[in-house]
Amino acid sequence: MSERVLITGGAGFIGSHLVDTLLEKGYFVRVYDNLEPQVHGKSQNIPDYFNKEAELIVGDVRDREKLKLFHSY
């Protein structure tokens, strides 16, 4: 079983490069990102590997209730 990693903001510029590196090293990657239009544009351009090699969960780190879902992760 591969190591699991949770990356907040993983669909952004820096986070997506980190995701690329971790996937290359065989990690299971879960990304938590709010897909803010100011960052991703109106079309919400996100890397193609989400839902294939990495899991994308749309949410905001300021939402404490939703973050509780990751306590067991």
Domains for the chain: give ranges and CATH numbers: 4-70 (3.40.50.720)
For position 2, what pLDDT does the model report? Answer: 79
For position 5, what pLDDT does the model report? Answer: 92
Kindly provide the residue ranges of all beta strands, DSSP E only, lying in the chain, ordered along the sequence.
Answer: 4-8, 28-33, 54-58
For position 49, what pLDDT does the model report? Answer: 64
For position 53, what pLDDT does the model report? Answer: 84
Q: What is the pLDDT along the chain (73 residues), one digit of tens a residue?
A: 579 999 999 888 899 899 999 999 999 999 999 887 666 666 556 666 666 788 888 899 898 888 887 776 6
Neighbours of 9 (CB within 10 A): 17
